Amino acid sequence: MQLTMTQRQELKLIMTMELRQAIELLQYSTFELEQFIREQEAENPLIELKDRNASVSFDAPTSRTAGGEGLRTDWLKAPDALYRDDLVSMVRLNFSDEESVLLLSYLILNLDDNGYLILPENCGIEEEILTAGIHMLQEIGPAGIGARNLQECLLLQLDEEEDQVARQMVSHCFALLTSRKWKEIAQLLQVTLTDVKSAFDRIRTLNPKPCSLINDHQTDYTFPDVIVVEREGNLEFSLNDGHLPEVTLNTDYLPYLDSKNEVGNYLTERHKQYRWLLSSLEQRRETLIKIVRVLAQKQQAFFLKGPEALNPLTMREVAEEIGMHESTISRATANKVIRTPAGTFEMKLLFSSKLESDGGVSVSQNKVKTLLRQYIDQENKHRPLSDQKLAEHFKKEHGITVSRRTISKYRDELNIPSSSQRKDIII
């Protein structure tokens, strides 16, 4: 065995800590970015933050420059909710014996946000007592509250109703009802299809989520990262980062920066982190500006009219347009929210894969889903279209080739039941 010494040149890509942090920084929403900046200030004595109240705006290809007024927030207004604490208070007002109060309070605290009762296994409450408690809940809350499943929820709402056919349908023919087996229901209950239709119409008025307002959450706020507005037919956009503090250098430590000791070495490393932070923040802003410029140009109809006007656009196309990698576009648009004249959306919604039509024109998935919903809304409810018929309809009317499986997938995403479950009663 002979030992030899050789030289070999290799090229390796090593992801440094700074590069990893820069990638993470690109994925942060504006709200998360502010938290990160303030964490950096706490860790680095050379970083000093100054609050500012102005945001810089950039014009889209077909727009003018928009002025900024600092942080702008969208919020989802909380409805007049019925909270669990309110129900417990109502229990104490309506029931005087302590056993009933304890039982009902226990049941209320085990309600989910839709008003259904979710009890742990082996809760130790007898079925008779539990049923009595659920019926007592009906006296203080909406009908159906405290049900353990959909069937029980509907029965609780039908308890005081005179429509016995509707009650029998829910009680004895629930499986047939969910499958819309109208003739079998009529034969089983020995009633006419007219009676079945009348009962079904009554059942459809019931609320499957009797307490959808019961919750313990505060008003949900969303902080748009990008704001797009329309002015005189033109689109203008701005980054909603006016509330972000300005990152500056704390000059008090500069005299010690060149010291040839541990303090100097420490400050030198912190100064590198300061410069890295400034560079990463600027790179993040420039990347977002480039992406939104392309989106404003390619998706102008979406910004003005909403999702039904979304054009097919992939991240790869945007990446080629601005000379970046597709993964960079994915990271830059992750966790970002954009406010438009048509509403507030996640930025990733602006990207949609293509479906080709016979004329060579690309159609977005959102457009196909919008047409699908329109077809189903306008169909003959006595003879609803199957997925295969819908696929053939797309091919015939629009020249769009869509498989039956794709129609089924889109229908599930839109929460639209199958044709058999959409069928109305034929009298």
Q: Could you read off the pLDDT of 81-92 as tens digits, one per residue? A: 456 778 888 888
Chain-centroid distance of CA 95 in Å reads 41
pLDDT, tens digit, 9 for 90 and up, residues 143-182: 888 889 999 999 988 866 567 889 999 999 998 898 888 8
> Which residue bears the tokens 């082996």?
122
Report which secondary-structure segment, H or E, holds 135: helix 127-140
d(CA 242, CA 240): 6
Sign of the four-CA dihedral 235, 239, 243, 245:
negative
d(CA 379, CA 387): 13
State which residues of the chain have pLDDT below 50: 54-59, 61-71, 73-81
d(CA 175, CA 198): 18
Tell me the β-bridge partners of 365: none
**Sheet strand arrangement including 234-239:** 57-59, 234-239, 226-231, 337-340, 343-346
Residues 6+ apart with CB under 8 A from 380: none
pLDDT at 362: 66
pLDDT at 210: 83
With b for 16 or more beta-carbon neighbours within 10 A and e for fewer, the 25-37 pattern comes to bbbbbbbebbeeb
Q: Do residues 375 and 393 touch, judged by C-beta distance below 8 A?
A: yes
Chain-centroid distance of CA 291 in Å reads 22
pLDDT at 141: 81
Task: Give the end-to-end CA distance of the chain in Å, rounded to a whole number.
Answer: 95
d(CA 211, CA 221): 22
Q: Do residues 12 and 223 touch, judged by C-beta distance below 8 A?
A: no
399 by Cβ neighbours in 10 Å (0-12 / 13-18 / 19+) ranks as: middle
The amino acid at 16: T
Q: Do residues 245 and 38 touch, judged by C-beta distance below 8 A?
A: yes
Of 140, 172, 139, 136, which is closest to residue 154 (Cα–Cα)?
Answer: 172
What's 53's DSSP letter?
A: -
What's 210's DSSP letter?
A: T
d(CA 200, CA 114): 23
The amino acid at 355: L
The amino acid at 192: T
Count the helices and strands in the chain (H runs, E runs): 18, 11
